[in-house]
């Protein structure tokens, strides 16, 4: 990330998480750069401090809240060298709107508590939206099938990681620690991804969020990307729900843009030209906001619990 002693890191991340505690703070400490250390994220305060900083690390929620401020523009960011995002995927609109508003391209990368950083879009070179970039020096990344063997570029599989950045195992959980490593020492991240032809890695979701409907694998992020491109949709989340015939079926939860009326029943027809029938949501519901944890990740377990009664009523109606 190119840190030098001349940088000033504007730090607003929680330090109970690896992103704020290790990645952000260590960059400043190792490079002997200065630090503007905030007790929490406040969009207005961060915006007011940007002229005194050169680097900012955040989660996607931080960037959407900054973009909601009229005063957040090129002038506010003119002294900034780098904006970095991690911990959760950026929406297309956030990435593109940020470019237009500030002239900066957010650098996305990928890490885990167990591995710290694994991949990153380059500091110098093309930053590919929707990708978390290239494997970092000293880090081996494998996209693997069920047999733990590498898959060809473009194929979706579990992301496996090996290197000195990877932890030794879970504290006092030897059986779990053994199970999470392959025989040749790769850590099983539980994330699903793919390589493109240039070896950039894209994450398509968590293996636990994979929906298997009628024997077909359905990757929620693919559907979410299609939903997010629809007019009137601010963001979306796709979850699997129990189905008597298919095992699981797709349900979509949508957050409409403020002030825009979105009719849930119009969503399926708008997706038919881009998605195969088995990927189409059986049911679309609307909500004001998606539940997130402190790092901005959507909590799909809470969505399943909250919308299960609506799903059950839908299934009882016979509209399967």
Q: Is residue 129 part of a domain?
A: no
Q: Give yes or no: residues 189 and 253 share one domain.
A: no
Let me know: does 108 contact 132? Beta carbons within 8 Å: yes
Q: How many structural domains comprise the chain? A: 3
Q: Give yes or no: residues 222 and 153 share one domain.
A: no
Let me know: does 279 contact 222? Beta carbons within 8 Å: yes
Q: Give yes or no: residues 215 and 311 share one domain.
A: yes
Q: Is residue 133 part of a domain?
A: no
Q: Give yes or no: residues 163 and 73 share one domain.
A: no
Q: Give yes or no: residues 220 and 283 share one domain.
A: yes
Q: What local confidence, expressed as pLDDT, does residue 111 receive?
A: 95
Q: Give yes or no: residues 227 and 298 share one domain.
A: yes
Q: Is residue 228 classed as helix, strand or coil in its secondary structure? A: helix
Which CATH number is 18's domain given?
3.40.50.12820
Q: Give yes or no: residues 194 and 230 share one domain.
A: no
Show which of 149, 171, 201 is a domain's final residue. 201
Give, rounded to a whole angstrom, the gap between the first and last alpha carbons of the chain.
50
Q: Is residue 116 part of a domain?
A: no
Name the helix (H) or strand (E) containing 264.
Answer: none
**Among 83, 88, 87, 85, residue whose Cα is nearest residue 55:** 83
Reading the chain (320 residues) residue by residue, the pLDDT tens digits are: 999 999 999 999 999 989 999 999 999 999 999 999 999 999 999 999 999 999 999 999 899 999 999 999 999 999 999 999 998 888 888 999 999 999 999 999 999 999 999 999 999 999 999 899 999 999 999 999 999 999 999 999 999 999 999 999 999 999 999 999 999 999 999 999 999 999 999 999 888 899 999 888 999 999 999 999 999 999 999 999 999 888 899 999 999 999 999 999 999 999 999 999 999 999 999 999 999 998 888 999 999 999 999 999 999 987 65
Query: What is the rounded CA–CA span in Å between residue 288 and residue 286?
Result: 7
Which CATH number is 229's domain given?
3.30.300.30
Q: Give yes or no: residues 84 and 22 share one domain.
A: yes
Query: What is the rounded CA–CA span in Å between residue 186 and residue 166?
Result: 9
Which CATH number is 181's domain given?
2.30.38.10
Q: Is residue 74 part of a domain?
A: yes
Q: Is residue 239 part of a domain?
A: yes
Residue 214's domain comprises 210-316
Q: Is residue 126 part of a domain?
A: no
Q: Is residue 118 part of a domain?
A: no
Q: Give yes or no: residues 175 and 89 share one domain.
A: no
Q: Is residue 121 part of a domain?
A: no
Q: Give yes or no: residues 268 and 217 share one domain.
A: yes
Q: What local confidence, expressed as pLDDT, does residue 319 receive?
A: 65
Q: 139-144 and 134-135: which strand pairing?
A: unpaired
Q: Give yes or no: residues 182 and 227 share one domain.
A: no
Question: CA 294, 299, 305: angle at the middle one, nearest 5?
Answer: 135
Q: Give yes or no: residues 301 and 217 share one domain.
A: yes
Q: Is residue 203 classed as helix, strand or coil in its secondary structure? A: strand
Q: What local confidence, expressed as pLDDT, does residue 245 receive?
A: 84
């Amino acid at each position: 990330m190119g840190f030098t002693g001349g940088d000033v890191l504007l730090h607003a991340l929680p330090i109970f998480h690896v992103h704020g505690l290790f990645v952000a703070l260590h960059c400043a400490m190792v490079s002997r750069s200065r630090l503007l250390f905030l007790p929490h994220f406040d969009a207005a305060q961060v915006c007011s401090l940007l002229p005194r900083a050169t680097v900012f690390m955040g989660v996607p929620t931080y960037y959407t809240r900054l973009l909601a401020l009229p005063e957040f523009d090129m002038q506010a960011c003119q002294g900034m060298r780098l904006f970095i995002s991690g911990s959760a995927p950026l929406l297309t609109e956030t990435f593109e709107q940020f470019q237009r508003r500030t002239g900066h391209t957010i650098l996305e990368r990928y890490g885990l508590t167990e591995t710290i950083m694994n991949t990153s879009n380059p500091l110098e070179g093309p930053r590919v939206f929707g990708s978390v970039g290239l494997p970092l020096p000293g880090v081996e990344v494998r996209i693997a099938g069920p047999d733990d063997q590498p898959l060809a570029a473009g194929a979706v599989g579990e992301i496996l990681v090996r290197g000195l950045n990877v932890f030794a195992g879970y504290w006092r959980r030897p059986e779990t620690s053994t199970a999470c490593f392959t025989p040749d020492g790769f850590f099983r991240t539980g994330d699903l991804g793919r390589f493109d032809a240039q070896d950039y890695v894209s994450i398509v979701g968590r293996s636990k969020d994979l929906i298997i409907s009628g024997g077909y694998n359905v990757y929620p992020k693919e559907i979410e990307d299609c939903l997010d491109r629809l007019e009137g949709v601010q963001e979306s989340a796709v979850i699997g729900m129990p189905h008597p015939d298919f095992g699981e079926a797709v349900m979509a939860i949508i957050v409409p843009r403020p002030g825009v009326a979105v009719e849930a029943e119009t969503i399926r027809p708008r997706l038919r030209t881009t998605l195969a029938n088995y990927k189409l949501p059986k049911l679309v519901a609307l909500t004001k906001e998606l539940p997130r944890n402190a790092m901005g990740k959507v909590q799909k377990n809470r969505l399943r619990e909250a919308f299960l009664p609506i799903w059950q009523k839908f299934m009882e109606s016979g509209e399967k």
